[in-house]
């Protein structure tokens, strides 16, 4: 073997051994312990343009958003809140989702058509307070029911920073509501 060939072989061999050695040492980067980084990231799923979301209750008590299927035809917030008042769809119920909002009886003599709850819902307000006038009393509404209404309302109006939600019931009473996805405690 010639001197040049031997020198090249030695150089290549040395380089081949040096690269794994550098990789193994990490090039002087010090190791660290586990670094807490907060909550996991979230991803928005691709859906139809602005479908609106209805919030229902999962078995663990957390609120779960479901897209409104026909919001594109009726994009107003009263329609969206009215759909929430009708309760979860059959598919959502089969998935274990429930509501704490008393669902109007569409089979009552006063209900001429399905969608009774959609008509009387009125929403108004300013940048600081959104008033939601409901066709049911608000005094007996549970905390989860008020959370459902607040989250659905805030999603429908898309106002930032989030204003206060004031629920006004058919009983003339008023209750504030806060959007919290997870139950307190």
Question: Per the domain annotation, does 66 fall within a domain?
Answer: yes
Taking 80 as the threshold, does the pLDDT of residue 106 lie above it? Answer: no
Q: Look up the domain containing 108 and give its range.
A: 53-177
Question: Per the domain annotation, does 63 fall within a domain?
Answer: yes
Question: Per the domain annotation, does 111 fall within a domain?
Answer: yes
Question: Per the domain annotation, does 38 fall within a domain?
Answer: no
**CA–CA separation, 77 and 178 (whole Å):** 17
Question: Per the domain annotation, does 7 fall within a domain?
Answer: no
**Average pLDDT, stretch 29-52?**
62
**pTM score, whole prediction:** 0.63
Location of structure tokens 């058509």: 113
Buried b (16+ CB within 10 A) or exposed e, 80-90: bbbbbbbbbee
Residues counted in the chain: 185
Task: Give the total number of structural domains in the chain.
Answer: 1
Question: Per the domain annotation, does 11 fall within a domain?
Answer: no
78 band by pLDDT with thresholds 50, 70 and 90: confident
Most confident of 8-22, 41-55, 130-144, 171-185: 130-144
Q: What region does 27 belong to: left with phi over 0, alpha with psi -120 to 50, or beta?
A: left
Average pLDDT, the chain: 74
Question: Per the domain annotation, does 100 fall within a domain?
Answer: yes
SS3 55: strand
Location of structure tokens 């010090």: 30
Question: Per the domain annotation, does 39 fall within a domain?
Answer: no
Q: What is the pLDDT of residues 122-171, one digit of tens each?
A: 666 666 888 888 888 898 999 999 999 999 888 877 666 777 888 988 88
More confident of the two residues 42 and 166: 166
């Amino acid at each position: 073997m010639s001197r040049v060939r031997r020198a090249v072989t030695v150089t290549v061999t040395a380089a081949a051994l040096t690269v794994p050695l550098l990789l193994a040492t990490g090039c002087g980067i010090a190791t660290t312990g586990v670094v807490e980084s907060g909550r996991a990231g979230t991803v928005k799923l691709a859906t139809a343009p602005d479908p609106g979301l209805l919030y229902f209750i999962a078995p663990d008590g957390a609120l779960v958003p479901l897209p409104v299927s026909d919001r594109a035809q009726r994009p107003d917030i009263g329609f969206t809140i009215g759909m929430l008042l009708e309760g979860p769809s059959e598919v959502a119920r089969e998935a274990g989702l429930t509501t704490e909002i008393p669902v109007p009886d569409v089979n009552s003599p006063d209900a001429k058509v399905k969608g009774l709850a959609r008509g009387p819902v009125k929403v108004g307000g300013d940048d600081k307070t959104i008033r939601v006038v409901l066709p049911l009393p608000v005094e007996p509404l549970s905390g989860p029911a008020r959370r459902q209404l607040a989250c659905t309302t805030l999603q429908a109006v898309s106002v930032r920073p989030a204003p206060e939600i004031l629920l006004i019931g058919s009983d003339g009473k008023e209750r504030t509501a806060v959007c919290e996805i997870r139950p307190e405690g």
